[in-house]
Amino acid sequence: MTKKYLQIVDPIHDFITVYQQEVELIDSSVFQRLRRIRQLAGAHLVYPGAQHSRFEHSLGTMHIAGQAANVLRNKGYLDANDSENIRMAALLHDVGHGPFSHLFEEVLQKKKKNSHEDIGQRIILETEIGDIIKKSGFDKTFLAKLAFGNSKYQFMNEIISGGLSADMMDYLLRDGYFTGAEYAKVDFMRIIHSLDVHDKKLSLDKSALHSFESMMISRYQMFKAVYFHKTVRSAEVMLIQAMALADSELGLTTDDIEIYVQMTDELVISKLVSLEPKNTDLRRAKQLAIEYQERKLLKCVYEKIFTRPRMRKMNITSLQNEIAKMSKVDESEVFIDVSKTPSIPLAPSKKESQSIILTTKKGEGPKESYELPISEIPLVSAISGFMDILRVYTRKQFRKKVEMAAAVILGENNQ
């Protein structure tokens, strides 16, 4: 008799149960590739323990999404088939990520206006992943929508992505654990067991509001301390620039899904450091990749954080040229990095979250639900809006010149 499930030991969730149809997806070459894509790209150069991958994060997201689905199933909102769909969609939510995760997406956005969600849908529909889904008796078209927040069932989308998502709960806990950062404490079990549904949207029991507040603050702190750390971004700026410069030569932003699913962190970095320097762009790409590998990172000489109002739109190329001209340094030695994120996670619709639905019950009466604006949650309101960070980087030998020019052009240094 074939065993119907496996237990995988995990440092965050202790044990993750994986069922037969999920095992077949996990064992596919397309999914196994996620083992070779780091969750936090260049963060390991600052936090040496941050070697974890998209693979284990995907398992963890499936685990939390499954727990959330069970809670809602017990409350009568889902059936067994819905729970299986939610688990499978959560497992596949990151399958479209390219090498170096979100860094590659920055190159994709510039070159093709594509996102990992767009590619993820294609992977589910056009590769062996879709064949496995179909063979297991599930609808690959529906799962491709649900995995990326596009299904017609809003509260099911919200289990996977958004302000109460399994994705965020797992990545905060996992990233905090592997970086050693103490900010990412999330009482996810309290949140999960307090989930409900109101007007086809995910809601939270009022008694768990403090856990939601704590999670939002943890996320904000992780962006400041880890994801947007100036040295982490220094390494990542080098990788982004190297991939962009070498794209024409290496075909990194290919539309060919079969080629795309072969690309991993190590494959791309090895291609970059092995480039034949036939022209200036390829020579610069190779140099940046080698210096990234050797941790000879760019230096941050200017930093400014914008919350409200947002950073005004600016022409990065013009700014780069202006700083280079004033500092009398070649423009290729001036790197401008603009990091942006909403302080509160976007809803699955990709719109900024303005409120949370709370559910409350008094005595024996029926449950009541109401929408609470984010502006009325003091701690969360204080960090709401966007975190935009403008930084200027250069090599060590040009540090003083570029620092002085950036301070004159952009205003006083806010580091």
Alpha helices in 161-229 (DSSP H): 166-179, 188-193, 209-222
| Same domain, yes or no: 302 and 225 | no
Token couple for 139? 């609808």
102-155 pLDDT, tens digit per residue, is 999 989 988 888 889 999 999 999 999 999 999 999 999 999 999 999 999 999
- Hey, what's the torsion of the CAs at 5, 10, 12, 16, to 10 degrees? 0
| Same domain, yes or no: 199 and 332 | no
| Same domain, yes or no: 100 and 215 | yes
Per-residue pLDDT at 1? 37
Whether a cis peptide bond, with omega within 30° of 0, leads into 48 is no
- What is d(CA 355, CA 286) in angstroms, rounded to the nearest whole number? 47
Per-residue pLDDT at 351? 77
| Same domain, yes or no: 62 and 211 | yes
- What is d(CA 404, CA 308) in angstroms, rounded to the nearest whole number? 26
Neighbours of 282 (CB within 10 A): 19
| Same domain, yes or no: 158 and 302 | no
Select the highest-mean-pLDDT range: 54-68, 344-358, 397-411.
Answer: 54-68
Contact yes or no for 183/225 (Cβ under 8 A): yes
In a domain, 310, yes or no: yes
More confident residue, 375 or 200: 200
Q: What is the mean pLDDT of residues 322-350?
A: 88
Token couple for 314? 């600016």
| Same domain, yes or no: 104 and 187 | yes
- What DSSP character marks residue 49? T
Per-residue pLDDT at 413? 46
| Average per-residue pLDDT for the chain | 92
In a domain, 235, yes or no: no
In a domain, 248, yes or no: no
Name the band, by pLDDT with cuts 50, 70 and 90, for residue 55. very high
Contact yes or no for 274/282 (Cβ under 8 A): no
| Same domain, yes or no: 75 and 188 | yes
| Same domain, yes or no: 216 and 341 | no
Token couple for 148? 């990326």
Domain count, the chain: 2
- What is d(CA 319, CA 381) in angstroms, rounded to the nearest whole number? 33
- pLDDT over threshold 70, residue 412: no
Neighbours of 307 (CB within 10 A): 14
Which residue range(s) make up the domain with 82?
5-230
In a domain, 250, yes or no: no
- pLDDT over threshold 60, residue 308: yes
Contact yes or no for 164/67 (Cβ under 8 A): no
Contact yes or no for 188/221 (Cβ under 8 A): no
- What is d(CA 411, CA 138) in angstroms, rounded to the nearest whole number? 57
Q: What is the CATH number of the domain that holds 167?
A: 1.10.3210.10
Select from 230, 246, 281 the last residue of a domain. 230
- What is d(CA 54, CA 60) in angstroms, rounded to the nearest whole number? 10
| Same domain, yes or no: 196 and 336 | no
Q: What is the mean pLDDT of residues 348-352?
A: 75
161-206 pLDDT, tens digit per residue, is 989 999 999 999 999 999 999 888 889 999 999 999 999 999 999 9
3-class DSSP assignment, residue 183? coil
In a domain, 282, yes or no: no
Select from 180, 206, 230 the last residue of a domain. 230
Helix (H) or strand (E) holding 246: helix 230-250
| Same domain, yes or no: 207 and 333 | no
Q: What is the CATH number of the domain that holds 405?
A: 3.30.70
Q: What is the mean pLDDT of residues 36-43?
A: 96
In a domain, 50, yes or no: yes
Per-residue pLDDT at 183? 83
Select from 211, 230, 249 the last residue of a domain. 230
In a domain, 161, yes or no: yes
Q: Which of 149, 154, 172 is nearest to 96 (CA)?
A: 149
pTM listed for this prediction: 0.93
In a domain, 243, yes or no: no
Per-residue pLDDT at 315? 85
- What is d(CA 383, CA 228) in angstroms, rounded to the nearest whole number? 16
Q: What is the mean pLDDT of residues 314-341?
A: 92
| Same domain, yes or no: 210 and 331 | no
Contact yes or no for 159/90 (Cβ under 8 A): yes
262-299 pLDDT, tens digit per residue, is 999 999 999 999 999 999 999 999 999 999 999 999 99
| Same domain, yes or no: 30 and 110 | yes
Q: Which of 289, 217, 276 is nearest to 249 (CA)?
A: 276
Amino acid at 345: P
- What is d(CA 403, CA 396) in angstroms, rounded to the nearest whole number? 11
- pLDDT over threshold 70, residue 329: yes
Per-residue pLDDT at 12? 96
Place of tokens 């390494």: 235
Q: What is the mean pLDDT of residues 76-83?
A: 95
User: What is the percent of the chain where pLDDT is above 70?
Assistant: 97
- What is d(CA 19, CA 218) in angstroms, rounded to the nearest whole number? 32
Q: Which of 245, 207, 224 is nearest to 335 (CA)?
A: 245
Angle between helix 128-135 and 116-126 (nearest 10):
60
* Strands (DSSP E) found in 83-200: 195-198
- What is d(CA 36, CA 247) in angstroms, rounded to the nearest whole number? 20
